[in-house]
């Protein structure tokens, strides 16, 4: 998996939501490198507005955030007809046991653990994306 094509996400709109600017910047930089258009928000509320206007291929959202956290965000997103089919991947720094099941139960497609690094982030993300039929077709492999 070490050789991921640099145009893997060519032209994809992706929304990343996190209250840590550094984290957003790292995600933006990596995803941008693989050709994606990255849109960022710093809380769930902004995220909802962004998702509604952008209609991204998928969303990466942190769980603990001010104003509206990741759990509320995914609940809100999944309750709206226009946005309910957009896959959301959770992002968390402290992966506790059972979090994966809890996240999937809450409506997340799956989750990624921090730290986001150039080496592990894309490997893990690719595995997740291949698992989502509506997205795997678009991957430029």
Partner 1 sequence: MHSAMLNDKQGQKTTSRHMQWSTWSLQRQLMTVVTAIGLAVVIGISLVFILRQNQTLKSQLEERAITTLISIDVATIDEIYFTNVDQIETIVTNFTEMSGIRAIRIYDADGRLLVATDDTTLGASLTNDPYAVTLLQIDSPQLEWRSDRLVAGQRVTVGNQVLGVIYVELSTSHLNNQLQISLLQSFVSAILVGIFGVVAVLFVSRSLTNPIATLVSQTRFIAHGDLTKPIYVQGGSSEITDLGATIEEMRHNLQKIYTELEQRVAERTVELKLARDEAIAAQRVADENSRLKSEFLSTMSHELRTPLNAIEGFTSIMLGGMGIELSSRAEDMVKRVSSNSKRLLHLINDFLDLSRIESGRLELIKEPISPQRLARKWEAQVGVLAEEKGILFTVDVNPDLPPLILSDEDALSKIAINLLSNAFKFTHKGQVSLNLQRVSNEWIIAVSDTGIGIPLHAREYIFDEFRQVDGSSKRLYGGTGLGLALVQKLARVMGGNVSLQSEIGEGSTFTVTLPLEIAEENEQGAVL
Residues that bind partner 1 (CB under 8 A): 20, 22-23, 26, 29-30, 33, 93-94, 97, 114-119
Give the nearer residue to partner 1 in terms of CB position, either 53 or 117: 117
Give the nearer residue to partner 1 in terms of CB position, either 33 or 138: 33
Check if the beta carbon of residue 137 is closer than 8 Å to that of residue 15: no
Residue 112 C-beta: closest distance to partner 1, Å: 12
Give the nearer residue to partner 1 in terms of CB position, either 4 or 54: 4
Judge if the upstream peptide bond of residue 115 is cis by omega within 30 degrees of 0.
yes
Give the Cα separation of 119 and 45 in Å (integer): 30
Residue 131 C-beta: closest distance to partner 1, Å: 13
Give the Cα separation of 17 and 50 in Å (integer): 10
Residue 120 C-beta: closest distance to partner 1, Å: 8
Give the nearer residue to partner 1 in terms of CB position, either 19 or 46: 19
Check if the beta carbon of residue 114 is closer than 8 Å to that of residue 124: no
Give the Cα separation of 67 and 45 in Å (integer): 7
Residue 66 C-beta: closest distance to partner 1, Å: 14
- For residue 108, the tally of other CB atoms under 10 A from its CB is 25
């Amino acid at each position: 998996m070490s050789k991921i094509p640099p145009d893997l996400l060519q032209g994809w709109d992706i929304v990343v939501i996190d209250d840590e600017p550094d984290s957003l910047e790292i995600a933006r930089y990596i995803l941008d490198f693989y050709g994606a258009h990255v849109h960022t928000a710093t809380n769930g509320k902004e995220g909802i507005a962004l998702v509604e206007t952008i209609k991204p291929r998928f969303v990466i959202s942190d769980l603990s955030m001010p104003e509206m956290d990741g759990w509320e965000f995914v609940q809100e997103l999944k309750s709206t007809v226009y946005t309910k089919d957009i896959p959301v991947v959770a992002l968390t720094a402290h992966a506790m046991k059972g979090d994966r099941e809890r996240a999937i139960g809450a409506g997340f497609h799956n989750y990624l653990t921090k730290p986001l690094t150039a080496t592990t982030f894309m490997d893990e993300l690719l595995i997740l994306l291949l698992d989502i039929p509506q997205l795997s077709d678009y991957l430029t492999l």
